[in-house]
Amino acid sequence: MSIGENAPTKNAEILQWVEEVAALTTPDKVEWSDGSKEEWSRLAQLCVDGGSAQWLNSEKRPNSLLFRSVPADVARVEGRTYICSEKEADAGPTNNWCDPVEMKKTLTDISKGCMKGRTMYVIPFAMGPMGGPVTQYGIEISDSPYVVINMQIMARVSLDVYTEIEKKGYVKCVHTVGYPLADGQEDVSWPCNEEKYITHFPSENMIWSFGSGYGGNALLGKKCFALRIASTMAKKEGWMAEHMLILRLTNPEGKNYHVAAAFPSACGKTNLAMLQSTVEGWKVECIGDDIAWMKQGPDGRLYAINPEAGFFGVAPGTSMASNPMALKSLDENCIFTNVALTDDGDVWWEDMDGPVPSHLIDWKGNDWTPESGEKAAHPNARFTAPAAQCPVICPDWEKTEGVPIDVFIFGGRRTSIVPLVHEAFDFAHGAYLGATAASEPTAAALDVKAIRRDPYAMLPFCGYDMGDYMQHWLDMGEKLGDKAPKCFYVNWFRKTAEGKWLWPGFGDNSRVLKWMCERVEGTVGAQETAIGMIPNEGDIDLTGLDVSAEDMAELLKVDTAEWKSELDSVKGHLERFGDTCPKGMMDQYEALKARLG
């Protein structure tokens, strides 16, 4: 098979790499993806004809597809995700490590002939607006048409990428479902392999994924590139690759503020990204819902881009009540995976608006009724939607240089102890708040041992040692100096002793964001506590909101005895990283301990 004959690039290194992968995996043919609409439609129809997908009702959900995976392939597989750094210490205690030579041998052995009977697609993609200073480039090789059509939504797939690669280099991404077909063998609707590996080679900027066809295991521009590999690139090059949403707030006078926020799962990240403000005159627009890449600009400030071109969101729980803007982003041109199918050819999932249908086809392809006793959609069912379709997408979301960040927000789900909002004393303190961010399972509300600390919401996604990563945050603060964003910590989930939510959340979170912007401007004050600065009474705009003064006092209460009870947990968390835990973080811990008395 001649690889270079129809290749859209003359780059000898790329051609040789593609040749090597093809020689190892032995596909029946090689296709060079061009990112065109024609290609998307052709491959979508190929998936339908092959039985892996079906078109949804074109009147209800135009140009949209439904896929069903198999129960063995429904989510990221953290236990099979590896960082193959040269030294084990560089992966840190929170990552699975494997020697890169050993892992390559394993992958080479199991990949021999793994694409037989399939087409190998070569997908050139940009992470970020083409030609931008923060944008990076990749090429994903995959034997899955599902991957190609999803990548066309999630990244910027284009032949122009080859030109940019000549200037900036690229990340190599190899993916296979690991399900070869013998001559005459019929394919299955969702090919995958029981054996799975999602591997990262930071020293080579390479990703190699085997055996899964699902989500972030297969769409290698997402967590694999945009966080695990990009975080290692960012540390070396002095920028930031973060698991953060980006949004713009505009005040009644027309001034813009830009916010980047990190939350662990189930803490309302996507809801905040597409927030609808309830404060008169204040507008919120979405720039990104999941990942922020940030680099210092010529003026010394930190500029952020959303490197993705689409949303790959969890469908169950998304509704007009929880996130109307996300739901309206799904009207057309979408891919749905593992949701339920209605009798009129539309999609459905748990917590969707309206009455529960009396009959569905569930995510496994079986008849379903409310009496079935199990979920109709898989809890991790997904939608893939173009970001441009979001009704509140910011007009500057693809600005090549990015937008200047004024505010960093960290948060977690806590039913007690943590106030609605507090502001860090300075950037180093803010980095400490991010490093110790915590959530609790709702069933273990007051059990300190059940608290899960997820530094910067990056625990599963940092491509190197988390202690070194914390130091990088401190280093960035030094580099940015007085141009560094203000840092805040929020908790929308505080409850009364009787279990009642104290804060309405959702759109009313804009009231807290407004206070943050006013703190940036210096137009409102704050009172100092042992843990940080909290709003003065009356400074959070509660106009039209039924929240009592007593509830606000409880929401903003800082109980030093409760905070003292967590000190051992925080210290244990930081000490987990051993010698790489930054002295600056331990200094912040000791300072908090002293302030608590």
Query: Which residues are designated catalytic?
Result: 267
d(CA 482, CA 340): 51
Q: In what order do the strands lie in the sheet with 335-337?
A: 53-55, 65-67, 335-337, 382-386, 310-314
Residues near 58 by Cβ (< 8 Å), separated by ≥ 6? none
Residue pair 300/481 in contact (Cβ under 8 Å)? The answer is: yes
Query: 74, 142, 71, 75: which is closest to 111 by C-alpha?
Result: 142
**Pairing, β 382-386 against β 407-411:** unpaired
Q: Which amino acid is at 251?
A: N
**Pairing, β 486-490 against β 526-528:** unpaired
Residues near 390 by Cβ (< 8 Å), separated by ≥ 6? 274, 286, 311, 325, 326, 328, 329
**CB-CB neighbours of 131 under 10 Å:** 13
Q: In what order do the strands lie in the sheet with 256-262?
A: 283-288, 245-250, 256-262, 407-411, 486-490, 421-423, 533-535, 526-528
Query: 398, 196, 187, 375: which is closest to 288 by C-alpha?
Result: 398
Roughly what angle, to the nearest 10 degrees, separates helices 145-154 and 37-49? 140
Residue pair 215/144 in contact (Cβ under 8 Å)? The answer is: no
Residue pair 191/160 in contact (Cβ under 8 Å)? The answer is: no
Query: 108, 189, 175: which is closest to 144 by C-alpha?
Result: 175
d(CA 485, CA 433): 14
Q: What is the DSSP letter of 522?
A: T
d(CA 141, CA 230): 19
